[in-house]
Amino acid sequence: MRIDVVTIFPEFFDGPLHISIVGRALASGIVQVHCHDLRNWTSDPHRTVDDAPYGGGAGMVMKPEPFFAAVEELRGDGAPPVVAFTPCGVPLTQEKVQELAAVPHLILLCGRYEGIDQRVHEALVTDEISLGDYVLSGGELPALVLIDAIVRLLPGAVGNDQSPVTDSFSDGLLEHPHYTRPAVFRGMAVPDVLIRGNHAEVARWRRRMSLLRTLQRRPDLLAKVELSREDEKLLAEQN
């Protein structure tokens, strides 16, 4: 998979892209991430990427010309998804991550200031994404979040391929609690079912705890999941 990132701060990505899962995936060739300086597609001596907004108001708006030139060059003869990060976008979900992880090429546009000229959104952008109901200084952090979420789904990126399959949101639910040694720490004991070694009981306990945790913390998620009769039985046991 190839991911092209267009930003005025390509150095923003230097550290995060070269550690942990993403770093290993880059080193092994599972994914290619190329960070491009938007100013390379400007045509004036000052390499200008922003201008005052029409209609007045505070702040600056990122100009359309560099983004059009960048996307048209980077996409070549293909038609990769073009993602822009904006508070007006749809919230990022695991479902969207899975969708984007399935494409061979992706272009991410990182805005700054008051945002990117609307004509870029209308003519080039295929997906507008928001991380939540708050405002960041630019699209670089959301781009890193999306890259990390995508890469861990790529085959071979995670040491155990089952890990992404059982993560929170993968089946619409929050994940069950996790425990490791010691069995008792400061008077707090690991649930006995996890120690006995009965795999069927462990799986049943984990499913029950996943359902219960989702009911308690994110009932909106649970309302979207089609529960089996066994799921309903497990939930009833907890009530």
Catalytic residue among 65, 128, 167, 231: 167
114 is catalytic: yes
175 is catalytic: no
Sole residue written with tokens 């190839």: 2
Catalytic residue among 87, 91, 177, 191: 87
Which helix H or strand E contains 25, and what residues bound it?
Answer: helix 20-28
Catalytic residue among 24, 37, 81, 114: 114
Residues 6+ apart with CB under 8 A from 175: 166, 167, 168, 210, 213
**Which stretches within 111-228 are classed as H helix?**
118-123, 140-151, 162-166, 193-196, 199-217, 219-222
201 is catalytic: no
Find out whether 151 and 21 touch, Cβ atoms under 8 Å.
yes
Which helix H or strand E contains 184, and what residues bound it?
Answer: strand 184-185
167 is catalytic: yes
Backbone conformation region of residue 59, classed left if phi is above 0, alpha if psi is from -120 to 50, else beta: left
Catalytic residue set: 87, 114, 152, 167
